[in-house]
Amino acid sequence: MSVVKELLRAESDGSISFGDHSLDSKAKLEDFRHGDDLLKVKTFKEITRLEKNEIFLYESVPGTSVTGFKETEGGMSFSVEGPEDAQITVGLEPDTEYEVIVGDSDAGRMKTNLGGKLAMSVELAGIGEVKVEIRKI
């Protein structure tokens, strides 16, 4: 499994990678500049959390490693890895409907709550990396 040993890094395609689900104790990196944004990540085997400009963006329980995380005007996409199935919550536009695709499967339409959070379960155990795409409808 590929973990992000730097905790958070910018990729050449404009995406970011973050999280190290192999850590036994909490680690964090604050004030990581990516474009005009300041990012903060907290990660270890029990949880991975990402904030952008002090606003919630991603959380997984248990912790995961995320690569190719990219926000678009119509949603976001990323690949996620972890040793076991994870509950993932992302921050998007409030009260908005999205199409969610996990791996090769259409997970259906999901609506964010008034806070803009969308939660999903992702099967990771024994699979390796899984691609997640979230598109505004």
Q: Which pLDDT score, from 0 to 100, does residue 115 have?
A: 94
Residue 60: inside a domain, yes or no? yes
pLDDT in the model for residue 105: 92
Residue 54 lies in a domain: yes
Whether the pLDDT of residue 2 is over 80: the answer is: no
CA 42/CA 49 separation, integer angstroms: 5
Residue 2 is assigned to a structural domain of this protein: no
Q: Is the pLDDT of residue 58 over 90?
A: yes
Return the CATH number at 67. Answer: 2.60.40
CA distance 35 to 103: 29
Residues 63-97 pLDDT 10s: 999 999 999 999 999 999 999 999 999 999 999 99
Domains held by the chain: number: 1
**Could you report the per-residue pLDDT of 99-136, keeping only the tens digit for each?**
999 999 999 999 999 999 999 999 997 788 999 999 99
Is the model's pLDDT at 1 over the cut of 70? no
pLDDT of residue 90: 98
Range of the domain at 45: 8-136
Within-domain flag for 19 = yes
The average confidence (pLDDT) of the chain is 95
The predicted pLDDT at position 127 comes to 80
- Rounded-to-integer distance, Cα 67 and Cα 47, Å: 16
- pLDDT at residue 62 tops 90: yes
The answer to the question of residue 3 being in a domain is: no
